[in-house]
Amino acid sequence: MSAVGRRSDATSLTDDELTILDVLFECSGCPAVLLRRETFYSQWLLRHSLSDHELLELIDRFVANGWLTQTPPPTTGRLAGQASYGITAAGGKLWEMERRPDWDRYATDSYCGVPSPRPSVTIQAFSKRTCEEFWRIGKEVGYFHHTDGKVRQFAISDNGLIPWKWFERVHVLIAFLDDEISSRCCWSRFEEQRTWWRRSWECAKFFPVD
């Protein structure tokens, strides 16, 4: 899969450069090893054609341009010696110019299993409507397996959901599920009814028509 296909061509970014920003737009820190071509698809379900040398040159240039931040590498652990990279406000603006995301439709879903008594999902969105539609449609198409688990909704101050962009409110829905991820999801209905986006390639569904 490639995220390239719906872009405004408002910048001089190549498709490969834009694809790197596609996976970094919501990351506060990503080691370069996760951006290498041979592991890129398994990590992000996207592809680029950059060699390791070209990738490192691109990262250095993006840092020099102020589009990425660089975090010093840890001295211990699995990623010892590897710096991490995150997108800056300037880099995010560049990405926005190309992808033209509808932030009112942005949402995330994260899961918690053991040691909780029941698995749970946390949906976060900048729009209350989007948060609720993700939950409702997700249940209808089998993405969420839920019968009688508790459901909570509330709003919080911006918690850095997008590290480089500030929003006044984040709407949150937490629900206890029957299973962590339902195997009964009808993916064609999921895509047809989806009114939100989580990944860069999903936001293309709402690319504005001028």
Angle between helices 89-99 and 15-24 (to 10 degrees): 120
Per-residue model confidence (pLDDT) at position 115: 60
The stretch 26-48 carries a mean pLDDT of 90
Per-residue model confidence (pLDDT) at position 76: 66
pLDDT in tens, 133-165: 999 999 999 999 999 889 999 999 998 999 999
CB 107 within 8 A of CB 125: yes
pLDDT confidence band for 22 (50 / 70 / 90): very high
22: left (phi over 0), alpha (psi -120 to 50) or beta: alpha
d(CA 68, CA 93): 12
Residue with tokens 């698809």: 41
pLDDT in tens, 64-90: 999 999 987 666 666 666 889 999 999
Q: Is the pLDDT of residue 183 over 80?
A: no
Domains of the chain: residue spans and CATH: 15-99 (1.10.10.10), 103-206 (no CATH)
Per-residue model confidence (pLDDT) at position 27: 85
- The reply to whether omega before 101 is within 30° of 0 (cis) is no
d(CA 90, CA 61): 14
User: What's the pTM value of the predicted model, to 2 decimals?
Assistant: 0.89
d(CA 25, CA 200): 8
pLDDT confidence band for 3 (50 / 70 / 90): low
Residue with tokens 């102020």: 66
